Chains A and B, each alone.
Chain A
Amino acid sequence: MYVTPLNIWFFIAAGMGTGVLGAILGTGGGVFLIPLLLLFQIPMKYAVATSIISVVATSTAVASVNVERGTANMRLGMTLEIATSLGAIAGGLTAGWLSALVLETLFAIVLLPTAVLMWRGVTESAASASADSSGAAIAPTASLHQLTTDHGSTEFAEVRPPTTALAGRYFDPRLGREVIYQVERLWAGLGISFIAGNLSGLLGIGGGVFKVPALHLACRVPIKAAAATSNFMIGVTAAASAFLYFGRGEVRPALTSAVVVGVIIGSAVGSRISPALQGRLVKRLFAVLLVGVAVQMFVRVFG
């Protein structure tokens, strides 16, 4: 299948859809793009290579916006990038040892409980309140912050200012206030980041499907900061894999360029609409996404 002036619009549209979803959900979008390209008879190895380059583009476009807004936690992201990069290199090296069916089955199994946790899990406000009541002493400079619960009621809680090197803060325009958070259980984040990087090296995806829930549920990072930080990290992880695909000659310049142009347009649209979305809505969209990807993988493995 060659890219022609007639079918190029399909590839640009596929890239646009991938970019919008990637920006909103904090993923690279590879899980959507690869099935779309396969539908258009693009061979798997070229589809994966195109996907990993588009993941770099999504991350770069969205991260540039999130870094300026202060939503992405660069210190946390860079720390976790050690684990994702190690995982990506290990994944690339072990890709030839494990069967793709085994990997896809494991991937689908892990996605389902993660989707349930994301759907029913703690909200941004509950996470903050929980962090405050976890037993640690509250710093003298703590201030009152207005929190909105899942049920729409309003309450006030004392929120500690950032006290550790990896803690973060960002201004949430929807809440109209600054959100301050601590990072808990960093080792859990590092472990899951390693697995995400490993899958990126093996399957050519960004790995955001693992990192966003891990940062939110295990490290107690608010969902918007988790998505922004995940996207910030994905660029480096995907680039590490992309060099391997490029070295093997699996990157098709015209196909990749068409998809990347679409991804950039889609990412710009997604970044514009993302701040106006509610954290709970983002989580539920993410949960639906996870179930969809899991079903798709089960069908591919057992169908």
Chain B
Amino acid sequence: MNYRQQPADPLARAVHWSLLLGLVCSVLLMIAGLFLAFLKDQPRPTSLITKLPDLLRMAADGNGVACMELGVLVLMLTPVVRVMVLAVGWMARREGRMALVALTVLLLLAISIMLSVG
């Protein structure tokens, strides 16, 4: 079924694909993690893996929990990437006001991430 009369805006398509890509990657990592953890009967973690290099190395080694945790991180970062795509898109179109709005949201997200780390 066709849900629009006009072709989709290229920027809307870019946002669509950024969200879809982030979602697919994160869900695949989570599903792979669940299968690995249950099929290999891996030990349960006592705490989250907090260092990114450790997380990537353990996920590459087939650690199910690391794969799931990486999937969660990718999912949380997907809306951030979406805001970046819109900021770049509006800047390319010379829509200064909307680009400024997107950059303000990015700044607020950066503050939130810094508050959670620190």
B75 with A57: CB separation less than 8 A = yes
* Residue from B16, B72, B79 within 8 A of A253 (CB atoms): B72
B104 with A82: CB separation less than 8 A = yes
Q: A69-B3, A82-B101 are in contact. Are A240 and B72 (CB under 8 A)?
A: no
> Which residues from 89 to 112 on chain B have a C-beta closer than 8 Å to any C-beta of chain A?
97-98, 101-102, 104-105, 108-109, 111-112
B20 with A64: CB separation less than 8 A = yes
Q: A74-B15, A165-B98 are in contact. Are A85 and B115 (CB under 8 A)?
A: no
CA of A238 to CA of B105, assembled, Å: 13
* Residue from B68, B77, B98, B116 within 8 A of A75 (CB atoms): B98
B76 with A53: CB separation less than 8 A = yes
* Residue from B23, B33, B116 within 8 A of A257 (CB atoms): B33
Answer whether residue A222 sits at the interface, using C-beta atoms and an 8 A cutoff. Answer: no
* Residue from B1, B26, B65, B112 within 8 A of A89 (CB atoms): B112
* Residue from A244, A251, A258, A264 within 8 A of B34 (CB atoms): A258
Contacts of B33 in A (CB 8 A): 253-254, 257
Answer whether residue A63 sits at the interface, using C-beta atoms and an 8 A cutoff. Answer: yes
* Residue from A71, A82, A246, A254 within 8 A of B76 (CB atoms): A246
In the assembled complex, how far is the CB of residue B12 from the closest CB belonging to chain A, in whole angstroms? 5
Binds B, one of A127-135, A150-158, A170-178: A170-178
CA of A264 to CA of B75, assembled, Å: 12
Contacts of B34 in A (CB 8 A): 8, 254, 257-258, 261
B12 with A251: CB separation less than 8 A = no
Contacts of B9 in A (CB 8 A): 70
Chain A, residues 153-190, CB within 8 Å of chain B (1/0): the string is: 00000000000010000110100001000000000000
In the assembled complex, how far is the CB of residue B48 from the closest CB belonging to chain A, in whole angstroms? 5
B65 with A254: CB separation less than 8 A = yes
In the assembled complex, how far is the CB of residue A101 from the closest CB belonging to chain B, in whole angstroms? 25
Identity of the chain A residue whose Cβ is nearest the Cβ of B17 in the assembled complex: A64
Q: Give the A-B pair count, Cβ closer than 8 A.
A: 170
If over half of A's interface residues share one DSSP class (helix, strand or loop), that class is named, otherwise mixed; here it is: helix
Answer whether residue A140 sits at the interface, using C-beta atoms and an 8 A cutoff. Answer: no
Contacts of A60 in B (CB 8 A): 19, 22-23, 75, 78-79
Chain B interface residue count, CB cutoff 8 Å, equals 58
* Residue from A70, A75, A82, A93 within 8 A of B4 (CB atoms): A70
Answer whether residue A14 sits at the interface, using C-beta atoms and an 8 A cutoff. Answer: no
Answer whether residue A256 sits at the interface, using C-beta atoms and an 8 A cutoff. Answer: yes
Answer whether residue A61 sits at the interface, using C-beta atoms and an 8 A cutoff. Answer: yes
B112 with A254: CB separation less than 8 A = no
In the assembled complex, how far is the CB of residue A239 from the closest CB belonging to chain B, in whole angstroms? 4
Q: A61-B23, A63-B19 are in contact. Are A53 and B108 (CB under 8 A)?
A: no
Answer whether residue A18 sits at the interface, using C-beta atoms and an 8 A cutoff. Answer: no
CA of A251 to CA of B113, assembled, Å: 15
Identity of the chain A residue whose Cβ is nearest the Cβ of B20 in the assembled complex: A64
Which of B's residues lie within 8 Å of A, judged by CB? Answer: 1-6, 8-9, 11-13, 15-16, 19-20, 22-23, 26-27, 30-31, 33-34, 37-38, 44-45, 47-48, 65, 68-69, 71-73, 75-80, 82-83, 86, 97-98, 101-102, 104-105, 108-109, 111-113, 115-117
Which of A's residues lie within 8 Å of B, judged by CB? Answer: 2, 5, 8, 53, 56-57, 59-61, 63-65, 67-71, 74-75, 78-79, 81-82, 85-86, 88-89, 92-93, 165, 170-171, 173, 178, 235-236, 238-244, 246-249, 251, 253-254, 256-258, 260-261, 264, 275
Given contacts A82-B104, A240-B108, A254-B37, 10 further A-B contacts (CB under 8 A): A56-B79, A64-B20, A67-B15, A70-B12, A74-B15, A78-B105, A79-B101, A246-B72, A257-B30, A275-B3
What are 15 of the A-B contact pairs (CB < 8 Å)?
Answer: A57-B26, A64-B19, A64-B23, A67-B16, A68-B8, A68-B12, A74-B86, A78-B105, A85-B108, A173-B2, A173-B3, A239-B80, A247-B117, A254-B34, A254-B68
